[in-house]
């Protein structure tokens, strides 16, 4: 399996205009991302609208996704996000994903009704105990309302070697990334999401990858290439061009989900920008912003 690092987009869930999952659109999106030389792909992140999918839909989507990635061989790693709130169900889903061929998991700890920290820790350990593939624990306190100290993850990592990464999405994430790196002597690594808004800072602090959305992944791939090649001036210039857009869209999770789907539709990668309600509706000014985005980054499309 390819090393877990670099650009790891979260798949959008394509829907038809009637609201059904568009499985052909999902295949097309996965193939598009693979052609852009991403390092891995994640299914069932927040950008996948996982909370709006039925169990049957998730099972079918997972099968389609893993089959498409398997065709590529070892050049790319697959990541399935485990979002079930009940520990029993999370364990079951994790084992199923591993058996179906997922090469890694992202684990969103339970947060509904504010569970006790001991129960959250038990949940993470219980899932880690039933699989052998690498686990990325998603720490997203802004979305879940559950703060967790970096020390908790450092202690869990000492007990479970397959918990190798934390997806750091607290704001700002930089110091958290530093604490994880220093506290584990670099063993526990960080990925970041949040559209990569703090990419320059977290890269300097040792983060190894970014998990953005999937609609303009070419820009993220180029940013990572420039950074790893030491072309700091070019990296900074391109990042500063992108920042006003992602800063605006990341004001609300539903906003960036809708904006990215509109971009994917305009690019002909998916047929519909439909989002299941409740969702964000773009107004005229926000549509104009997407028009400007295409003009600004025309060389990538």
**6-300 sits in which CATH class?**
alpha beta
Contacts of residue 233, defined as CB under 8 A and 6 or more positions apart, other chains included, come to none
Q: Residue 46 and residue 69: Cα distance in Å, rounded?
A: 20
Per-residue pLDDT of 142-185, as tens digits, reads 999 999 999 999 999 999 999 999 999 999 999 999 999 999 99
For 228-244, write each residue's pLDDT tens digit: 999 999 999 999 999 99
pLDDT at 132 over 70: yes
In eight-state DSSP terms, residue 196 is G
Q: Render 20-69 in DSSP notation, one character per residue.
A: -B-HHHHHHHHHHHHHTT-SEEEESSGGGTGGG--HHHHHHHHHHHHHHH
90-117 per-position pLDDT tens digit = 999 999 999 999 999 999 999 999 999 9
111 to 6, 118, 264: CA distances (angstroms):
28, 12, 31
Per-residue confidence (pLDDT) for residue 202, from 0 to 100: 98
Q: Kindly state the tokens that stand for 181.
A: 């790196």
Tell me the pLDDT band of 1, cut-offs 50, 70 and 90.
low
Strands (E), the chain: 6-7, 40-43, 77-82, 104-107, 135-139, 163-168, 189-192, 209-210
> What pLDDT does 74 receive?
67
**pLDDT at position 297, please?**
98
Distance from C-alpha of 163 to C-alpha of 158, rounded to nearest angstrom? 9
At 22-31, the pLDDT tens digits run 999 999 999 9
33-53 pLDDT, tens per residue? 999 999 999 999 999 999 999
For residue 205, pLDDT over 80 is answered with: yes
Name the residue with tokens 């004001």: 251
Q: Is 177 within 8 Å of 206 (Cβ atoms)? A: yes
User: What residues does each domain of the chain span?
Assistant: 6-300
Cα gap 55→58, rounded to integer Å: 5
Nearest-angstrom CA–CA distance, 264 and 213 = 10
**Per-residue confidence band for 19, with pLDDT thresholds at 50, 70 and 90:** very high
Mean pLDDT of the chain: 97
Average of per-residue pLDDT across 189-198: 97
Question: Which of 252, 88, 226, 38 has the alpha carbon at shortest distance from 29?
Answer: 38
């Amino acid at each position: 399996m390819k090393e877990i690092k670099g650009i790891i987009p979260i798949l959008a869930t394509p829907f038809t205009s009637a609201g059904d999952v568009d499985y052909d659109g999902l295949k097309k999106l996965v193939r598009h991302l693979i052609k852009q030389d991403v390092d891995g792909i994640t299914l069932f992140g927040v950008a996948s609208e996982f909370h709006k999918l039925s169990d049957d839909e998730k099972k079918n989507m997972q099968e389609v996704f893993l089959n498409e990635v398997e065709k590529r061989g070892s050049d790319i790693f697959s990541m399935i996000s485990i979002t079930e709130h009940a520990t029993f169900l999370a364990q079951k889903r994790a084992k199923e994903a591993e058996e179906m061929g997922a090469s890694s998991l992202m684990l969103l700890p339970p947060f509904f009704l504010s569970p006790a920290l001991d129960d959250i820790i038990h949940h993470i350990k219980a899932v880690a105990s039933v699989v052998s593939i690498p686990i990325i624990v998603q720490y997203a306190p802004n979305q879940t309302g559950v703060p967790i100290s970096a020390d908790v993850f450092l202690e869990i990592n000492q007990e479970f070697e397959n918990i190798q990464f934390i997806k750091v999405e607290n704001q700002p994430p930089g110091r958290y990334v530093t604490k994880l790196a220093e506290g584990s002597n670099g063993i526990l690594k960080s990925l970041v999401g949040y559209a990569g808004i703090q990419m320059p800072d977290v890269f300097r602090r040792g983060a190894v990858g970014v998990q953005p959305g999937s609609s303009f992944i070419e820009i993220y791939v180029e940013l990572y290439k420039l950074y790893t090649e030491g072309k700091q001036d070019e990296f900074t210039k391109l990042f500063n061009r992108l920042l006003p857009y992602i800063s605006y869209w990341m004001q609300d999770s539903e906003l960036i989900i809708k904006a990215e789907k509109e971009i994917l539709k305009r690019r002909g990668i998916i047929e519909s920008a439909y989002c299941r309600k409740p969702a964000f509706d773009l107004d005229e000014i926000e549509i104009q912003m997407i028009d400007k985005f295409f003009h600004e980054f025309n060389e990538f499309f």
